[in-house]
Amino acid sequence: MVGFGVIIPVLPFIAINMGATPFYVGLLIASYSLMQFIFSPIWGSLSDKYGRKPILLIGLFGFTVTFILFGLANSFWMLFLARMAGGILSSACLPSAMAYVADTTSEEERGGGMGLIGAAMGLGLIFGPALGGLSSIWHVGTPFFVSAGIAGINFFFTLFFLKESRKRHSASKIRYNNFGHLLSLRGYMAFIFFLAFLLSYSISNFEVMFPMFAKQRFNFGSFEVGAAFTLMGIIGVVIQGLIIGRLIKAAGEGLVIKIGILLTALGIGLSVFSFNFISLMFFLGVAVVGQGFMRPSLASLISKNTELEEGSTMGLMQSVESLGRIVGPLAGGYLLQIGLLLPYSSTGALNFIFLALSIVFL
């Protein structure tokens, strides 16, 4: 996630310098999530058959190569193809890593393990953009090579030091049509996957719209926006790394998810009433706490109740979250054109609706 976060400050500017319009910049960013939506379940299923370590190695190697291609690209179409290839190959990493955690934790420890993954991702997204901004001083393409170097180090560490977690590989056929399984879900499990989509939609809508919302409402510049994201990242790391595991053990995933939805709804919905930086950060901090409650709890609950094997299940969850990262920014951008407050007020209302439904279904 450090390697991913490194490119956040520079990718849009590189694309625009190559002649891309803002629409094509959005398409470039969405293409990565689209490839993850399609390929995450396949990689997860492959990790069930061949083990977690080989698929992790493929993902890390693909991340390394495609980010080198990013750095060497001299036209927008090359950047676009490298981004799509990066989405296809690097989407092997997270489902395999989450399945690895599921393999090596008991059901009681599962929520804490998923929380640690969330905390690690949060740390990556705190330090990554800062490293990207610093490394771009030498050349605007340097962050891509930094990302490739980080992924390359991970590749060799995994190759030589990480033990395989899957004791017995599945002899069953690889599931290329996990989407069919997703569409066939009913009742309890269908609702849990809907919640995973809602969480991803809410986060991506909030994050992508935040700079424009803060600029128009409070005239925030890049420093204030960067400080806000750093603070929210620290809150997320503390929640997922230190608190969520104990909370799930004490209260159970269902109750923690309901609290998380409530906090997310209140934080995002009430942020439209903020009147300065402190009040805005208070409301968004509440939302970040809620999101930190939800994701590890959902991953734990899905892992415990799946009919598929762990890799296929985590791949399917990543696919659903990728769909949220596609729909969220598109919906947020459209609503922002209609009214400044609509992206956050509508997201808050949507979470309140799902809170009411969760009281029935969870």
User: What H or E segment, with its residue span, contains residue 19?
Assistant: none
Q: What is the pLDDT of residue 178?
A: 57
pLDDT in tens, 130-149: 787 778 777 777 888 988 99
Question: 218: how many CB neighbours lie within 10 A of its CB?
Answer: 15
Buried b (16+ CB within 10 A) or exposed e, 284-307: bbbbbbbbbbbbbbbbbbbbeebe
Residue 27 CA to chain centroid, in angstroms?
A: 18
| Cα separation, 86 vs 66, whole angstroms | 5
What is the third-level CATH fold of 2-162+179-361? Growth Hormone; Chain: A; (1.20.1250)
Instruction: Please state, in angstroms and as integers, the Cα–Cα distance from residue 152 to each residue in 85, 209, 280, 312, following that order.
Output: 17, 32, 39, 26
Lowest-pLDDT choice from 138-147, 195-204, 304-313, 349-358: 304-313
Q: What is the pLDDT of residue 55?
A: 94
Residue 171 has pLDDT above 50, yes or no: no
Domain ranges for the chain: 2-162+179-361
pLDDT in tens, 244-293: 888 988 888 899 999 999 999 999 999 889 888 889 889 989 999 998 89
Structure tokens at 253: 């995933």
Q: What is the pLDDT of residue 169?
A: 53
| Average pLDDT of the residues in 5-22 | 74
Higher pLDDT, 56 or 334: 56
